[in-house]
Amino acid sequence: MDRFRLYQVLQKENVNSKVLSYWYKENLNDKEKKALILSQIDKIKYPVMSPDNVTVAMNIDDMVASIIKLSTRKHSQRPLKINSPSPTVLTLPDDFIHPTSPRVMSVRELARIQSFPDMFIFKSKETTGSVRRKFEVPQYSQVGNAVAPLLAYELGKKFIELL
């Protein structure tokens, strides 16, 4: 939850979330890594609050400490923006962070983005890993691999018109 809040704050402050991977730069020493992080967050006004009103950092030193503590090599996580188009829905549930809650988007929320009606039922487990993926298709994969129903409907209408 702390990392999700940090992603939300970085987005709100227009700081590239790649700052969370700077601690893993192998060609820099710790002092250089901290300087690089500081250069990215020097315009933030403190204290910084997450969308769910949790204090993420009281000052720049707290922010640097949070970034170091929560650093990750993963680059694809990002909060969705309210009132903005969604990026393409993928099969990995942790790529999208809810815009106001410190959590990943649910299968149902991603299905809504894809235009699935709420009554549509996805059969299977939400997620599946390792060798089971050869035999099971988890719900997140069903949503992420699907053609959006409203798009399929419009394409179908066009095909009928052409035929």
Residue 95 lies in a domain: no
Residue 100 lies in a domain: no
How many separate domains does the chain show?
Answer: 2
Q: How confident is the model at residue 95 (pLDDT cuts 50, 70, 90)?
A: confident
> What is the pLDDT of the chain when averaged over all its residues?
91
Distance CA 122, CA 109 (A): 13
Residues 64 and 8 in one domain: yes
Q: Is the pLDDT of residue 134 over 80?
A: no
17: domain range? Answer: 2-69
**pLDDT tens-digit profile of 64-89?**
999 999 998 877 788 999 999 988 88
Residue 98 lies in a domain: no
Q: Are 114 and 95 in contact (CB under 8 A)?
A: no
Q: Would you call 99 exposed, middle or buried from its count of C-beta atoms within 10 A (0-12, 13-18, 19+)?
A: middle
Residue 97 lies in a domain: no
Domain finish residue from 19, 45, 69 = 69
Residues 9 and 58 in one domain: yes
Checking 24-28 for CB contacts under 8 A at 24+ apart, the result is: 24/71, 24/73
Residue 54 lies in a domain: yes
Residue whose token pair is 């649910």 = 106
Residue 75 lies in a domain: no
Domain finish residue from 48, 69, 90 = 69
Residue 84 lies in a domain: no
Distance CA 23, CA 118 (A): 42
Residues 62 and 114 in one domain: no
Residues 7 and 65 in one domain: yes
**pLDDT tens-digit profile of 101-122?**
999 999 999 999 999 999 999 9
| 102 backbone φψ class: left, alpha, beta (φ>0; ψ -120 to 50) | beta
Residue 90 lies in a domain: no
Residues 65 and 110 in one domain: no
